[in-house]
Amino acid sequence: MARDNLSIVLAERPTTDIIPGQTFTQKTSPAPTPADLQDGQILVETLYLSLDPAMRGWLRDMRSYLPPVQIGQTMRGSCACRVLASKSKQAKEGDIVSALTGWTEFAILPEGRFEPASLYPGLQDPKDMLSALGMTSLTAWVGMSKIADPKPGELVVVSGAAGATGSVAGQIAKLKGARVVGIAGGDDKCKWLTEELGFDVALNYKADDFKEKFAEATKDYIDVYYDNVGGDILDMCLMRAKEHARFIECGLVSQYNAAKPQGPRAFSQIVTMRIRMQGFIVLDHVKDFPTARAELAQWIAEGKLKKTETVVRGGLKVAEQALVDLYKGINTGKLIVEIKNHNETPSKL
């Protein structure tokens, strides 16, 4: 008897918040089988799905670094997968690979559309492909190590500091010898940043005295700002920037669900303080991935870089609500949906 393949597809484009049961819909179709494989292809089952703030941007029908997800198309997403059958020399049955399979339980992938485990040095768990050695950590490495390049003693501020990218970016800045101030949404997250990750200061932006504490923490002014949120906090950092500060624009999570996103109000500071503000997309730095992964893996092995994940269980059906919750800040570290635990018996198709 043929097995079903559950996929989550885009039903309508949200204008503000994603609405569970309305933005996406479930689609069931016959699962692919080994008989469907052509030379150079692999058949995989999804084990873990990465949820990322950038996903909201993929739903907008506008020009960007990737084409928008189309109505009726399977939602885009990076996954850690297990190979169920193979006609490729790059992966064999039972191997773990990473791929942009999207929100689906089973998929057939050609060579060039997946990365074998051999590209992930020090891989301890399939989830590492999405977190510690995945795109979010690579984004942190590129933005902080390559673009910001903090020097010992410099003041680095990281917003969204308890998230997947921010938490790694801040740790990298500490490894470079910088003084690091993290901004996060909640006292528990701030405690985690200072006590577990080694941030010098962590500030709860929801606290009544946040502005006063932020001014105190940046009394010597900001050399590097790693921006994951945009909005009011970006403006605050612009007002506290040192001359020739470097602002690294990684994300604007506070604006992703806004019908009319807020631009910087303190824009004149870029001129008067001669700030270098640079946006970047990690996909432009693929040639640096081997170096980045090797360094990240070494730091993890030496205990210098800590990885943290929030794993939501319940399979593909819970992914939509988990994505909604991502923008509410439920996660500490990387947010991952477990589709199927890697210790479970492989599916038979």
Instruction: Give me the number of domains the chain comprises.
Output: 2
Strands (E), 101-143: 106-110, 114-116
The β-bridge partners of 279 are 249
Task: Say yes or no: 123 and 146 in one domain.
Answer: no
DSSP string, 249-263: E---TTTTT-SSPPP
Question: If DSSP codes are grouped into helix, strand and coil, which group holds residue 14?
Answer: coil
CB 46 within 8 A of CB 106: yes
Residue 42 lies in a domain: yes
Task: Say yes or no: 113 and 178 in one domain.
Answer: no
Task: Say yes or no: 86 and 63 in one domain.
Answer: yes
Task: Say yes or no: 278 and 315 in one domain.
Answer: no
Question: If DSSP codes are grouped into helix, strand and coil, which group holds residue 122?
Answer: coil
Torsion angles phi and psi, residue 96, rounded to 5: -105, 130
Reading the block at residue 28, the tokens are 């069931």
Task: Say yes or no: 156 and 230 in one domain.
Answer: yes
pLDDT in tens, 257-280: 777 878 889 999 999 999 999 999
Indicate if the alpha-carbon torsion angle 60, 65, 69, 70 is positive or negative: positive
Task: Say yes or no: 78 and 101 in one domain.
Answer: yes
Residue 20 lies in a domain: yes
pLDDT at 254: 86
Look at the block and give the residue holding tokens 């105190």. 216
Task: Say yes or no: 213 and 332 in one domain.
Answer: no
Task: Say yes or no: 95 and 203 in one domain.
Answer: no
259 CB burial (10 A radius; 0-12, 13-18, 19+): exposed
Task: Say yes or no: 41 and 74 in one domain.
Answer: yes
Task: Say yes or no: 150 and 200 in one domain.
Answer: yes
Quote the CA–CA distance of 195 and 165 in Å, as a whole number: 18
Low-confidence residues of the chain, pLDDT below 70?
Answer: 1
What's 27's domain CATH number? 3.90.180.10
Task: Say yes or no: 198 and 68 in one domain.
Answer: no
Residue 13 lies in a domain: yes
Residue 304 lies in a domain: no
What pTM does this model have?
0.94
Q: Which domain holds residue 261?
A: 142-284
pLDDT in tens, 47-96: 999 999 999 999 999 999 999 999 999 999 999 999 999 999 999 999 99
Q: Which amino acid is residue 268, in one-letter code?
A: S
Residue 47 lies in a domain: yes
pLDDT at 1: 60
pLDDT at 261: 78
Task: Say yes or no: 263 and 180 in one domain.
Answer: yes
Residue 289 lies in a domain: no
What's 159's domain CATH number? 3.40.50.720
Residue 257 lies in a domain: yes
Q: Taking the CB of residue 284, how many other CB atoms lie within 10 A of it?
A: 10
Strands (E), 143-285: 155-159, 179-184, 201-204, 222-227, 241-249, 276-279
